[in-house]
Amino acid sequence: MNGCCLFTRSNLSLRFAEIDAGRHQPSNPIPINRYNVLLTRNDKCYLSGDGTTLNEQGALKPTADGTDNVLVKQGSFSYTSPEGIPISLTYVADELGFRPEGSHLPVAPAVPPINF
């Protein structure tokens, strides 16, 4: 009896997963019109059929103590949101973390200085 119920639950879970996966797939594939990669400099860019673009450059930078390297990347991408709003984002990713900038992103208020 437990084996039968287990099979039914598993089968039902798989069916719901199939339904959910099918809901998020685009009806028409979006073509990649241009794709360039330069492995020696860790650069890449692409342009897709819906106007999405990506440009990224990377380089190894020595750490402060000189014992290792850090991959530093900077780039940008842009696309149109489902609501028709153009989205553009630039970023830097280095030893200080990922730092994106874009007009659609919230900005924290300036922190007032502390007076002692």
Per-residue pLDDT of the chain (116 residues; tens, 9 = 90+): 444 444 444 444 545 555 555 556 657 888 989 988 887 777 899 999 999 999 999 999 998 899 999 999 999 999 999 999 999 999 999 988 999 999 999 988 999 999 88
Interacting residues of 17 by C-beta distance below 8 A, sequence separation 6+: none
**Residue 55: predicted pLDDT:** 95
**Residue 26: predicted pLDDT:** 58
**Residue 101: predicted pLDDT:** 94
Question: Are 30 and 51 in contact, with CB atoms under 8 Å apart?
Answer: no
